[in-house]
Structure 1
Amino acid sequence: MCNQTQKTYFKGIRGIDSVSFSVQEGEFVYLMGASGSGKSTLLKLLYGAEKATSGNIMVCGYDLAKMKRKDLYKLRREIGIVFQDLQLLKRKTVYENIQFALEIVGVPEENMDARIRQTLTLVELADKADCFPEELSGGQMQRVAIARALVNNPRILLADEPTGNLDPQTSREIFRLFMRINRRGTTVILATHDQTIFQRFQHRALTMSDGFLVADESRKEVGSLQYDYHMKDFYIV
């Protein structure tokens, strides 16, 4: 997926540096690291919101270095994105928020309702279709954001700190939802700094620190790994 990828911002500020990894179709991968480690930058590069300064990124068969901005819609049809700030439309209902994701990729109106209802059922919000975001709990709003990312049946789902503002119980429920989505065959790449969830739901983990990929641990290895983001050292227990 990434080969020696680098992103440098104005005045030489490093976003990520020399990052290389690949993800198999159907994998569930954590992107771990403290705030500012490069997780969000990497996600933005994967869905084409930003371009790498150097290196290669291949996603769903597309070479992002060669992809023109006018062709990004092709990539976006393959990727669902759950943003850290959710970006729900406050004046639209739950149903309309999800419908909007179908409209922007040109799905015929007659095909929308069944897909929206099916997706709402998957995220356990079938009874909230006519509610507005302000009427929902934090966990329910997160489920709307996930539904919106899923309704186009993407091959890859990217999520940036999806439980950052949720209580522990709600966080566990959201992670179980991501696991159900993954079992349906969707590749999931989930950025988080929550080591409690990480230890409870063990999967492959890519760990970022200061813009570098410092560890790539398989599911079996993760169980014995503890990482102190501030000390930037690994401890095997």
Structure 2
Amino acid sequence: MELQIKQKNDFQYVEEGTGEVLLLLHGLFGALSNWQDVVAEFSADYRVIIPLLPIYDMPLTKAGVPGLVQFVEDFLAEIGLTEPCTVLGNSLGGHVALVYTLRNQARVSRLVLTGSSGLFEDGMGGSFPKRGNYTYVQEKVAYTFYDPTVATRELVDEVFNVTNSNSKCLRIISIARSAQRHNLSKELHKIQVPTLLVWGLNDTITPPVVAHEFNRLLPNSELRFLDHCCHAPMMERPQAFNQLLHQFLVKNQIGVNSVG
């Protein structure tokens, strides 16, 4: 399905379906389309919302994890969402989801993390994309996926164009450094909501050991690995990801005691 982008004041977002809310947060080089298969699968039964995070154009002084969390809070206030929702985050989006949950536990019913930062990540394979070098950017985008063909020409072009903008690069660097500084290991025990960790067994950016550490530190979490999968399971293994998500949502229905 083709995602239709809505606009409300300064916020751009996707909103499909009705019912209980699934709030989806993309990563640093991510886009609304990263969640396309989740929207297609769940919008029949849920209200699926994806805000476009202002990674490339937010004020430089706010370009970091706390600034993005504030953006999410402002966005939800703008659209009038007050009921508890399930928050899903990939990569940096997972980091934002974790901090949002720590600040708003009464407004989060369930949490789903996939390839999340917050403990450790090897951003872009250990180095930042070189400006003007298309082959280099292509290799680094492919590094995000187990199957390099998932790194389509369109996706590579998008990242290449971003890395050729000085202002966008400055914000990306600022946000990436903020994520690395903002280690959550001492705070995760405070998150009591049911949490699903879906990890690529071949993740090179947030390796499986990171998933095990999240599982150890989050009191009410369960960990599932997907083989032949790297940093974006919802893109690389959409059917398997959606199946795990569906099972988790049913198992931890709102109003059902799911702890233990």
Same fold (TM over 0.5): no
- Structure with the bigger RCO (C-alpha within 8 Å, sep 6+) is 1
Whose helix fraction is larger, Structure 1's or Structure 2's?
2
Give 1 or 2 for the bigger CA radius of gyration.
1
